[in-house]
Amino acid sequence: MEVVVVSSPLAVEECFTKNDITFANRPKLLAGKILNYDYTAVGFSPYGEHWRNLRRLISLELVSANRLTMFTNIRQEERERGNFGKDAADEEARQFRDIMSEIVEVHGNSNLGDYLPVFQWLDIQGVAKRMVKLRKKMDEFFQLLIDEHRKTNRNESNISLDEPSGSNKERKKTLIDVLISLQETEPALHSDDTIKGLVLALVVAGTETSATTMEWAMALLLNHPEAMSKAVAEIDAHVGQDRLLDEQDLPKLTYLQNIINETLRLFPPVPLLVPHESSDDCTLCGFDIPRGTMLLVNLWTIHRDPELWVDATKFVPERFETGEGEGYKLIPFGAGRRVCPGVNLGRRVMALALGALIQTFEWERVGKEEIDLTEGIGLSMPKAKPLQALCRPRPATTKLLSKV
């Protein structure tokens, strides 16, 4: 397979405007073939009717402004509890973490067979074997989640998906509840495999990317105490210290959002985007590109290009106050038809979590030396060395923390 790597905003613009439909396809990578639920149909499937249905489902039913508002209470509760997962489900949470780390590990390494088909037969890296095992584990885990939700829904006849959650007569609805209720109305479109695939796609695409970005953001803030103080001052001014910041506060916290943008610029969690593939012959910046070419967009280079950015490698959140990141210079979520459908959810979750951490705790580096910002190998460009930091509750927020 031929591979073309694009690393200028002009070329990116051409890919996702003039050639957007041509590059809306995805190559068939090993991960897609083996883990082949419908999950691969969202992130990796060929551009077509099936993909359009799933994508519509994600955009309208799972991460639309309406649904995001509906799930607000759940996010708020999880954040207050500092937990991810279901109540008293330590074992499930552990299993989930194990599955996630394995997915990240298996997907984080390049698989030779994706570039040279002969290696697919040999499987010298053992990737295929590990994926088959992983698929079995994931399948059992997600099936159990669906079955449990289905059972609970049957026992609670008054679960309504259209009312905002939080009314006291009903349990809080989750993504899986929404998908199960769609299954009841359109079973053919929403099989259990589709649900498992969607949950997995959202979890894989959404958790690692957001968590890694937060770790980078905190590392950058610890190396730039002046930016940290500015962010804390902004939260104190707009939210105060008597309550935890919430989703309504986010539009006012522009410096916090600039910090997230600057982190995504320097450390984009998907530095080459997800691979695209041309479904037809086309031209790109005057070059002939044959059908079936894999397209990689080198965000990392574009985001750090000294021709495009002032002090390109420095952490300067203020640059976004002057509109420096406009156009195709900053595209951590991709662009065009295959742009990340979780962009709004991802931004909200990151701002809420990072905002809460700096609102309630004082942060310090463990030693005097700066945090090492070397990148490691993994699915979403993690830090080579996991971040270690010291924190203590801010005196003014002790009362607030005692309520959490």
Nearer to ligand HEM, 271 or 394 (CB): 271
71 binds ligand HEM (CB under 6 A): no
Nearer to ligand HEM, 50 or 365 (CB): 50
Nearer to ligand HEM, 110 or 229 (CB): 110
Distance CA 129, CA 135 (A): 10
Q: In this structure, what token pair is assigned to residue 168?
A: 């006291």
**Binding mask 20-49 vs ligand HEM (x if CB under 6 A, - otherwise)?**
----------------------xx------
257 HSE (CA, 13 A, CB side): 14
Q: In this structure, what token pair is assigned to residue 148?
A: 């449990």
Nearer to ligand HEM, 30 or 394 (CB): 30
Nearer to ligand HEM, 44 or 255 (CB): 44
Nearest distance, CB of residue 58 and ligand HEM, angstroms: 6
The reply to whether 340 sits in an annotated binding site is yes
Nearest distance, CB of residue 209 and ligand HEM, angstroms: 4
Phi, psi of 259 (to 5 degrees): -65, -40
Strand partners, 287: 284
Contact indicator for 319, 309 with CB cutoff of 8 Å:
yes
Question: Among residue numbers 182 through 201, which ones bind ligand HEM (CB under 6 A)?
Answer: 201
Nearest distance, CB of residue 299 and ligand HEM, angstroms: 7
Spatial CB neighbours of 60, under 8 Å, sequence gap ≥ 6: none
Contact indicator for 349, 75 with CB cutoff of 8 Å:
yes
Nearest distance, CB of residue 148 and ligand HEM, angstroms: 22
Contact indicator for 170, 158 with CB cutoff of 8 Å:
yes
Distance CA 145, CA 381 (A): 29
Question: Among residue numbers 295 through 334, which ones bind ligand HEM (CB under 6 A)?
Answer: 332-334
Strand partners, 393: 361
User: Which amino acid makes up residue 69?
Assistant: T
List residues near ligand HEM by CB under 6 A: 42-43, 55, 58, 63, 201-202, 205-206, 209-210, 213, 269-270, 273-274, 276, 332-334, 338-342, 345-346
